[in-house]
Amino acid sequence: MMRVPYGDQELEFVVAPWFDLDVVETAPATPIGDLDGAARTAVRAPLGSPPLREMAAARVRAIAPRRPSVIIAVTDLTRACPDDRLVPPLLDELNAGGIADAEIAICIGVGLHRATTVAEKRQKLGQAVVERVRVFDSDGNDPAMWADLGPIPPYGIPGFTQKVVKDADLVIATGIVEPHQYAGYSGGRKTVAIGCCGEPVITATHGMRFIEDPGVRLGVIEGNPFHATITELARRAGLVFCLNVVVDDHERVVAVAAGEPDAVLREMVRTAEAIYTRPIAKQYDIVIAGVGAPKDVNLYQASRAATYLRFAPTPVVREGGSIIIPARLEEGEGAGAGEQRFLAALESSASPQAVIEAARRHFSGGEQRAVMVALTLQHCQIIVAASESGEVVRRAKLRPATDVEEALEIAYEHVGRPTRASVLLVPRSLHTLPIVQAEAPVV
């Protein structure tokens, strides 16, 4: 009996005898036992930066007699960043530097995703934090809420962030450092640059120019123009301090670092690469790509499982193979503007190639996910198993299956019913980056 993440639980499934099954997981890492203590230590002994309380005190002195304003940018619920544990040490250190809670606000960087509810804000940050400081969502749809940061190199894309972020005297971000399709690795700079931006930023950075740039790659930051763009955008928005974490397959924090954003990212990427990058001997006929909460809440997020495996340095599934994504999809395609455009782009086009051609003519933020899915469909089949939104799956040109066993039978038929079919189970496909070894056969 095999298991794969499904929402906050697991799905069990049986593998038929004609499948040769391998499993690849992230490398074992010891979870941090006292995350609260580790976060406080990181904030007080940061990388490449004075301690946060000293930065706060210096800012208070520099702008006196005016009182300072501070923004802490955090991710939304589609990211498993433990902000309920990370934000309190930041607040305490800001207080110790002379900045009162009334002068601090938390901006949830929703990008073009849906707004968060009051209950979700409490879930994300904890009741005590929500009662302590003002918490609000960014607004990527209303230009009146944006500040213009000018064209952002290397491609001169428009630079917009929330006015409240740009006007703050101190900008801090939390983030989770994990593989990302465009940024190479996510983290605090992306929380600000994309989470808190205006829509033109998402449209430009996620458009065909970046998608087709050979430097924009999963797990790569060096020479990556998307990484360079969001790093500069976050800098212009005022980001000076990050508190980032790396988590394991069970969303347990295994590393935490704070300080100057670039120094923190470099340190966290070194840790993440050692955990997430895993060698495999070959490409596979079929890959089962686990997702789990919070990313399997909707198809927009869960579809990353397929595109990450397709756009690994070497595709993990062979051309003409199948990727199976077990995912709940309790919110269907997703309720935000970006998620709605994602589904519309797939549904309204006659074929995957038509999705790509349409994006070259006109592109809106959110449609990049449709393009990545379309590019993956040109390489292999995508099956979504056990979802609560089968009609959404069909509208997105993907194949629904009632459970993993049925998905495996559909995939087996698709790959030609060989005597033996190779299957790879990747329980946490958004963390695990399988690397086909150079000397290995590519089937």
- Concatenate the DSSP letters of all residues of 269-326 into one string: HHHHHHHHEEEESS-EEEEEE---TTGGGSHHHHTHHHHHHHTSSS-SEEEEEEEEEE
Instruction: Kindly state whether residues 325 and 263 are assigned to the same domain.
Output: no
3-state secondary structure of 203: helix
Tokens of 387: 């979802």
Tokens of 54: 């000293």
Q: Is residue 441 part of a domain?
A: no
| pLDDT (0 to 100) of residue 114 | 85
| pLDDT (0 to 100) of residue 338 | 87
Instruction: Kindly state whether residues 17 and 67 are assigned to the same domain.
Output: no
Residue 160 dihedral angles phi and psi, to the nearest 5°? -125, 135
Rounded CA-CA distance 298/436 in Å is 29
Cα radius of gyration (the chain): 22
Which residue type does 77 have?
L
CA distances for 1 relative to 11, 12, 15, angstroms: 10, 6, 8
Q: Is residue 442 part of a domain?
A: no
What is the 8-class DSSP label of residue 56? H
Residue 331 dihedral angles phi and psi, to the nearest 5°? -105, 20
Give the residue numbers spanning the domain of 141: 35-275
Rounded CA-CA distance 43/320 in Å is 49
Instruction: Kindly state whether residues 305 and 204 are assigned to the same domain.
Output: no
Instruction: Kindly state whether residues 356 and 214 are assigned to the same domain.
Output: no
Report cis status (omega within 30 of 0) of the bond before 154: yes
| pLDDT (0 to 100) of residue 438 | 67
Mean of all residue pLDDT scores within the chain: 95
Instruction: Kindly state whether residues 65 and 206 are assigned to the same domain.
Output: yes
Q: Is residue 165 part of a domain?
A: yes
Instruction: Kindly state whether residues 212 and 285 are assigned to the same domain.
Output: no
DSSP letters spanning 345-397: HHHHSSSHHHHHHHHHH---TTHHHHHHHHHHHTTSEEEEES-S-HHHHHHTT
Instruction: Kindly state whether residues 130 and 259 are assigned to the same domain.
Output: yes
Tokens of 421: 């079919």
Domains held by the chain: number: 2
| pLDDT (0 to 100) of residue 122 | 95
From 275, 299, 329, give the residue that closes a domain.
275
Instruction: Kindly state whether residues 221 and 263 are assigned to the same domain.
Output: yes
CA distances for 77 relative to 74, 216, 244, 301, angstroms: 10, 25, 16, 11
Task: Give 225's contacts (C-beta < 8 A, 6+ positions apart).
Answer: 154, 155, 210, 213, 215, 216
Per the CB < 8 A criterion, the answer to whether 314 and 436 are in contact is yes
Tokens of 46: 């940061």
From 217, 251, 275, give the residue that closes a domain.
275
Rounded CA-CA distance 81/84 in Å is 9
| pLDDT (0 to 100) of residue 35 | 97
10 Å CB burial of residue 228 (0-12, 13-18, 19+) is: middle
| pLDDT (0 to 100) of residue 285 | 98
Query: What is the residue whose two structure tokens read 């930066």?
Result: 49
What is the 8-class DSSP label of residue 101? G
From 241, 275, 309, give the residue that closes a domain.
275
Which residue type does 71 have?
I
pLDDT along the chain (443 residues), means of 10: 94 96 94 96 97 97 96 90 97 98 97 90 96 96 96 96 98 96 94 95 92 92 96 98 93 96 97 94 97 94 96 95 98 90 95 94 88 97 97 97 98 98 96 82 50
Within 10 Å of residue 362's Cβ, how many Cβ atoms?
A: 8
Rounded CA-CA distance 124/116 in Å is 10
pLDDT digits (tens, 9 = 90+) for 152-172: 999 999 999 999 999 999 999
CA-based nearest residue to 145, from 163, 170, 132, 125? 163
Instruction: Kindly state whether residues 291 and 241 are assigned to the same domain.
Output: no
Instruction: Kindly state whether residues 307 and 259 are assigned to the same domain.
Output: no
**Parallel, antiparallel or unpaired: strands 146-148 and 134-137:** unpaired
Q: Is residue 443 part of a domain?
A: no
Q: Is residue 293 part of a domain?
A: yes
CATH code of the domain covering residue 337: 3.90.226.30
Rounded CA-CA distance 81/97 in Å is 25
| pLDDT (0 to 100) of residue 364 | 85
3-state secondary structure of 179: strand
Instruction: Kindly state whether residues 67 and 210 are assigned to the same domain.
Output: yes
Per the CB < 8 A criterion, the answer to whether 213 and 130 are in contact is no
Q: Is residue 349 part of a domain?
A: yes
Q: Is residue 344 part of a domain?
A: yes
Q: Is residue 243 part of a domain?
A: yes
| pLDDT (0 to 100) of residue 83 | 97
Instruction: Kindly state whether residues 157 and 264 are assigned to the same domain.
Output: yes
Rounded CA-CA distance 227/189 in Å is 9
Tokens of 19: 């499948």
Per the CB < 8 A criterion, the answer to whether 264 and 187 are in contact is yes
Which residue type does 178 have?
E
CATH code of the domain covering residue 162: 3.40.50.11440
